[in-house]
Homo-oligomer: A and B are copies of this chain.
């Protein structure tokens, strides 16, 4: 009996709306730093629709998907004893290990990766693009695997706020469909919340001391008036309730609850189905996870009224923009307070910026942009995944982020239905 040489893969064909499940060659190691992963599950993501609709500026047939979980079945010659001074995974990764990958490759050892800015590694590439075959397939080739992959078989290889036995116990229980959320949407949500909460502009609200005394805890205040209870309320607007927006909301709730910060959060989407999902997710979170604050889910118009009512017209302390278009940025500007922060993790395109420098100056606004450094964000994302199995654990329930797990052959129909908003997050099982 010979080994199989062909595999099933979801392939995009130009110009648009043409997804086929085809038999293509199983990938082979091309470089000593690579791994071949046998995919257990590969997910469909909202950003896949960019290319699907023909808006990706792409014309090359390629395998889709940048979210996958699987098992290492082959490693290049760089692994094991030859890896001194390299990221720990070059020494530790073994054939048979269970791994989840971030949506982009990163080497883990260049000047960009060392600082944790892994999403912008110059050697990086996006899975499921013309530059790198994706994970909606039975097998996927992972360049720079020792920098890229997250080893679910060895929780000692990553730092965490959780003790090792808790991590091990969690790993024995977590479903693959749940762990797959680590590939993109969960770290991106955590990234959005973490940027906002650590921004210097919001430090007065968190420390109870005015700018710039919030940075020097030992200095007495002088001419200032004491804060009142209202001043200490962290008011957040989350714009866009696709899976990443829901994750961002849950991550923000978690950080505010765990730091015992009083808060108000309004989560915003024009689509009722998404608002209903967000409400179900919030309902599923236990009382401790809800923290000491107020929570609302709103349409766009309702959100403006809500922020106005909550803050007496001052505006939100921080806005998480999880959409990636100009109207979302404009809404963020309208909702944010003077000296507030807009943290955008949406994928923006080439349309002109909807704000002038003068508008930004007049409101003293700060803006964060960019792609989540997913590999760097895995540890806190994993912690949140373990904590919030009420939300991230199930499939097909009202509070589940995953709508269904289907056979890979259904990919063309699922792309169509996902594009039309008829289904939520879909995962493909390439072996069913």
Contact = CB atoms under 8 A, between A and B. Distances in A.
Contacts of A346: 357, 361
Contacts of A85: 225
Interface stretch (A1-9, A296-304, A375-383): A375-383
Contacts of A189: none
A215 interface: yes
What range describes how many residues of A lie at the interface? 35 or more
Given A116-B210, A159-B220, A225 B108 contact: yes
Contacts of A160: 219, 222
A216 interface: yes
Contacts of A211: 115-117, 373, 376
**Which of A191, A346, A348 has the most chain B CB within a 10 Å cutoff?**
A348
Interface string A7-37: 0000000000000000000000000000000
A352 B360 CA distance: 11
Given A115-B211, A200-B199, A339-B120, A348 B361 contact: yes
A312 B364 CA distance: 33
A227 interface: yes
A172 interface: no
A161 B114 contact: no
A212 B326 contact: no
A223 B369 CA distance: 26
Interface string A193-221: 01100111101110001111111100111
Contacts of A205: 115
Given A339-B115, A370-B365, A223 B348 contact: no
Interface in A341-359: 344, 346-353, 355-358
A287 interface: no
Interface string A104-118: 000011011111110
A119 interface: yes
A394 interface: no
A162 to B, nearest CB: 10
B210 A194 contact: no
Interface in A369-396: 369-371, 373, 376-377, 379-380
A331 interface: no
B326 A357 contact: yes
A109 B356 CA distance: 30
A228 interface: yes
Interface of A: 85-89, 108-109, 111-117, 119-120, 147, 157-161, 191, 194-195, 198-201, 203-205, 209-216, 219-228, 230-231, 312, 314, 324-326, 329, 338-339, 344, 346-353, 355-358, 360-371, 373, 376-377, 379-380
26 contacts: A87-B223, A108-B223, A111-B231, A112-B314, A113-B225, A114-B224, A114-B226, A114-B231, A115-B204, A117-B338, A120-B339, A161-B216, A161-B219, A201-B368, A211-B376, A212-B379, A219-B379, A324-B361, A351-B357, A352-B352, A357-B369, A363-B369, A363-B370, A365-B369, A366-B366, A366-B368
Given A159-B221, A212-B379, A348-B356, 13 more contacts: A88-B222, A108-B225, A120-B338, A158-B222, A159-B222, A212-B380, A222-B379, A344-B357, A344-B360, A346-B361, A349-B357, A360-B367, A364-B369
